[in-house]
């Protein structure tokens, strides 16, 4: 392929919250051109639009898909709208980046999978945290058996104070609280690192200690009068194929180190254990390796270099590469569905107080 003769992909973004980071990445990437943004909130569209001069603005995604001549679109709207807008984009022949979670429930996620199978365009779920150096290393270390046979897994994301407001706390809009918001990222990374083993059973407990009392909420997004309808913390155990236990935790609010907003992973294997502790989104010094050398316990600190680009830009660059090379997308809809199935089972377990078996 001669890159000099290939025109950049024309990209658009629906939803100008986190979507503004997608827009910035499309502007910065060599092989994409940001041509349009879309939001139903006129004030937001104007405010964010000012950051992107010469980029068309739309308030209606139907018009965006029909008129803007897009090749590629990011869908970064409240969770409940992922299925509707993603399916419309696929049916319009576009390549789609759908923000996490793929959908709020299994039926909607399955509808997206089916639409993606019919579509000309490709779809990736926006699992940007996979593009961290530590996550990439974990995946390589498990694939190459550096850790040996994995017998125990932990994944979690815990905030001390971090209850968002608005639609995030409305069950019908979000599908749930920190489990579907933050837990989906660490669950995805754990399953991706392990090569998507079957999840046999899920047993989970959710709580809502702070949210209903209006405590430990986040800045300006709060105080808007929305009813608090979701959990603010979740703890569960998954049984993976091979009878491997995986602990999964997520919280928006908890009595912890002030300001804590930490992601962590443990993969314990017969040869070594890898532990990742990400303090407040840092990229530095997050990984420790525990093993034995000649019968003596050893702690090692691998030096990692963040990939460039990383995060959202890393994912979008990888997706554009997959489009150009006609490769599988980085996080296909089937992988998005796999996590939605587990989260659905987790919430059912929490509601019934029983372990839930997955097919």
Ligand X SMILES: NC(=O)c1ccc[n+]([C@@H]2O[C@H](COP(=O)([O-])OP(=O)(O)OC[C@H]3O[C@@H](n4cnc5c(N)ncnc54)[C@H](O)[C@@H]3O)[C@@H](O)[C@H]2O)c1
- Number of residue whose CB is nearest ligand X: 17
Return the DSSP state at 223. -
Q: Which stretch binds ligand X (CB under 6 A): 14-22, 139-147, 238-246, 296-304?
A: 14-22
| Residue 325 main-chain phi, psi, to 5 deg | -90, 0
Nearer to ligand X, 103 or 194 (CB): 103
Question: Which 25-44 positions form the footprint of ligand X (CB under 6 A)?
Answer: 38-41, 44
To the nearest whole angstrom, how small is the minimum distance from the Cβ of residue 6 to ligand X? 28
Nearer to ligand X, 131 or 210 (CB): 131
Half-sphere exposure of 218 (CA within 13 A, CB side): 17
Comparing CA positions, the residue from 283, 303, 275, 313 lying closest to residue 138 is 275
Which 3 state secondary structure label does DSSP give 120?
coil
Tell me the β-bridge partners of 202.
238, 356
Instruction: Say how far apart CA 217 and CA 193 lie, in whole Å.
Output: 32
Using CB under 6 A as the criterion, what x/- string covers residues 286-305 for binding ligand X? --------------------
Contact residue for ligand X among 14, 25, 253, 287 (CB under 6 A): 14
Task: List all residues 6 or more positions away from 174 whose beta carbon is below 8 Å from its beta carbon.
Answer: 78, 79, 80, 104, 167, 168, 180, 181, 230
Nearer to ligand X, 85 or 253 (CB): 85
Q: How far is CA 270 from CA 127, 146, 191, in A?
A: 29, 9, 19
Contact residue for ligand X among 12, 15, 175, 314 (CB under 6 A): 15
Using CB under 6 A as the criterion, what x/- string covers residues 330-359 for binding ligand X? ------------------------------
Nearer to ligand X, 229 or 355 (CB): 229
Q: Which stretch binds ligand X (CB under 6 A): 15-23, 103-111, 276-284, 330-338?
A: 15-23
Q: Is 126 in the site for ligand X (CB under 6 A)?
A: yes
Contact residue for ligand X among 18, 205, 247, 272 (CB under 6 A): 18
State the DSSP H helix or E strand holding residue 160, giving kind and residue range, or none if neither.
Answer: none
Question: Which 159-218 positions form the footprint of ligand X (CB under 6 A)?
Answer: 166, 181
Task: List all residues 6 or more positions away from 182 whose beta carbon is below 8 Å from its beta carbon.
Answer: 157, 159, 250, 251, 252, 263
Cβ atoms of residues 288 and 274 within 8 Å: yes
Nearer to ligand X, 21 or 239 (CB): 21
Using CB under 6 A as the criterion, what x/- string covers residues 75-104 for binding ligand X? -xxxx-x-----------------xx----
Handedness of CA 301, 302, 308, 314 (dihedral sign): negative
Write out the residues near ligand X by the rule CB under 6 A: 14-19, 38-41, 44, 61, 76-79, 81, 99-100, 126, 128, 166, 181
């Amino acid at each position: 392929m001669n890159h000099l003769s290939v025109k950049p992909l024309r990209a658009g973004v629906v939803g100008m919250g986190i979507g503004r980071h997608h827009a910035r990445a499309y502007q910065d990437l060599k092989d994409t051109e940001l041509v349009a943004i879309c939001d139903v909130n006129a004030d937001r569209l104007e405010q964010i639009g000012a950051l992107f001069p010469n980029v068309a603005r739309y308030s209606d995604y139907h018009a965006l898909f029909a008129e803007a001549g897009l090749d590629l679109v990011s869908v970064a709207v409240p969770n409940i709208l992922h299925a509707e807008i993603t399916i419309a984009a696929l049916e319009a022949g576009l390549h789609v980046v759908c923000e996490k979670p793929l959908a709020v429930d299994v039926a909607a996620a399955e509808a997206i999978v089916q639409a993606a199978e019919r579509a000309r365009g490709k779809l990736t779920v926006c699992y940007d945290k996979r593009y961290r150096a530590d996550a990439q290393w974990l995946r390589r270390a498990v694939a190459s058996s550096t850790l040996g046979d994995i017998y125990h897994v932990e994944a979690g994301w815990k905030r001390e104070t971090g209850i968002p407001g608005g639609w995030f706390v409305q069950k019908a809009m979000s599908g749930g609280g920190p489990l579907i918001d933050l837990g989906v990222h660490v669950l995805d990374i754990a399953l991706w690192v392990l090569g998507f083993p079957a999840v046999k059973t899920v047993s989970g407990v959710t709580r809502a200690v702070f949210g209903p009392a209006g405590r430990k909420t986040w800045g300006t997004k709060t105080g808007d009068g929305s009813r608090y309808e979701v959990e603010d913390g979740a703890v569960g155990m998954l049984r993976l194929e091979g009878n491997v236990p995986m602990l999964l935790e997520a919280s928006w609010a908890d009595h912890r180190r002030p300001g804590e907003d930490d992601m962590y992973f443990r993969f314990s294997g017969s040869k070594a254990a890898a532990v990742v502790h990400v303090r407040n989104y840092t990229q530095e010094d997050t990984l420790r390796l525990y093993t034995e050398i000649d019968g003596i316990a050893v702690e090692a600190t691998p030096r990692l270099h963040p990939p460039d680009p990383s995060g959202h830009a890393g994912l979008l660059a990888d997706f554009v590469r997959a489009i150009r090379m006609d490769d599988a997308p980085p996080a296909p809809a089937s992988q998005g569905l796999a996590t939605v199935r587990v989260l659905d089972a987790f919430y059912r377990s929490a509601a019934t107080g029983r372990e839930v078996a997955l097919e």
